[in-house]
Amino acid sequence: MGDSSDSVSVDMETISVAGKEHLVKTGRGYVSVAVFGDQDKPALITYPDLALNYMSCFQGVFYCPEAFSLLLHNFCIYHICPPGHELGAAVMSLDDPVLSVDDLADQIAEVLDYFRLGKVMCMGVTAGAYILTLFAIKYTQRVMGLILVSPLCKAPSWTEWLCNKVMTNLLYFCGMCTLVKELLLLRYFSKEVRGSVEVPESDVVQACRRLLGERQSPNVLRLLEAINERPDITQGLRKLKCRSLIFVGESSPFHSEALHMTSKLDRRFSALVEVQACGSMVTEEQPDAMLIPLEYFLMGFGFYRPSQCNVSPRSPLSPTSISPELFSPESMGLKLKPIKTRFSEEV
């Protein structure tokens, strides 16, 4: 591992006795990386959406017992937090560099260098999916596969740009106020879990709302400005040499963006899973819907579930609800068929 002077490690007892948080020094400032599992195993890196960290963005999928066993059995997990988004983060100094999305992607390469990692599997949500995709385009040889949830690849639409500008002004003048939280929750979740006058919001939304209250608004503002100035990377998608698995909730405001991205990826190596009655953050809203597609996607790399584990009866999925194309030798070996798979809560 890297020089100890560049890293501060603390036990993450609230999550796992095996997990440690490292503060990694890069040429663009410090990055918090929470590491779980055996570091001799292949690496899976995660990157969350705007204003989130791994606790608020990936807890659902990693706390799903079947997904947890599948991923921890095969990988060491490296949760990378955007600058200033880690648990207990202080307000970033004015002396800290203002980073672009390219800088954030380059930071990931420095984190991999610090941990002496070669090729990695990547999992990102929305803004995090964009940054990991940009990283894969810039550092093609360092990515074995992409698992993208409600990803972005185009420059912001006028609607998104305007919404982000409103949030920028609110964060600057009012901090993480109620309206900013509501706008972010609209970004993350479907109306089914956000609730209404008659129906209370779900536990996952309430938990996310509380965690948003812990974010430092100047730090969120910095990341928001970087995301709102992101360039279109559609042309770079053809450069990708890795296989990609894309999840998107049908109620996500970025649903059309995910479909656009899928249409531009090499059809031999990409697959799309649409999840009904779900917003952008499938990892939290319907993590069970990710399990079976993830399992068959990872089989193509030679990764398998521990033999003693079976599919949970809680899962809304069954092998028969998956398109037969996903079971083909191509999809489980050298090639992954481009498919459109829909799951609903009633399955």
- Rounded mean pLDDT of 123-133? 98
Distances (CA, A) of 10 to 17, 20, 211: 10, 6, 20
Q: How confident is the model over 14-66, as pLDDT tens digits? A: 334 357 999 999 999 999 999 999 999 999 999 999 999 999 999 999 988 88
Q: How confident is the model over 181-233, as pLDDT tens digits? A: 999 999 999 999 998 878 899 999 999 999 999 999 999 999 999 999 999 99
What pLDDT, on the 0 to 100 scale, is given for residue 307?
Answer: 65
Average pLDDT, the chain: 86
Residues 179, 250: Cα–Cα separation, whole Å: 24
Residue in 150, 83, 102, 134 with CA at minimum distance from that of residue 286: 150
Beta bridge partners of 148: 124, 246
Q: Are strands 29-36 and 243-249 parallel, antiparallel or unpaired?
A: unpaired
Q: How confident is the model over 101-110, as pLDDT tens digits? A: 999 999 999 9
Q: How confident is the model over 114-127, as pLDDT tens digits? A: 999 999 999 999 99
pLDDT at 345 over 80: no
What pLDDT, on the 0 to 100 scale, is given for residue 308?
Answer: 56
pLDDT at 334 over 50: no
Across 149-153, 238-242, 246-250, 304-308, least confident range? 304-308
pLDDT at 319 over 80: no
- Give, to the nearest 10 degrees, the angle between helix 288-299 and helix 65-74: 30
Q: Are strands 76-80 and 29-36 parallel, antiparallel or unpaired?
A: antiparallel
- Rounded mean pLDDT of 222-250? 96
- Rounded mean pLDDT of 135-163? 97
| Helical (H) or strand (E) element with 50 | none
What pLDDT, on the 0 to 100 scale, is given for residue 328?
Answer: 41
Contact at 8 Å (CB) between 57 and 211?
A: no
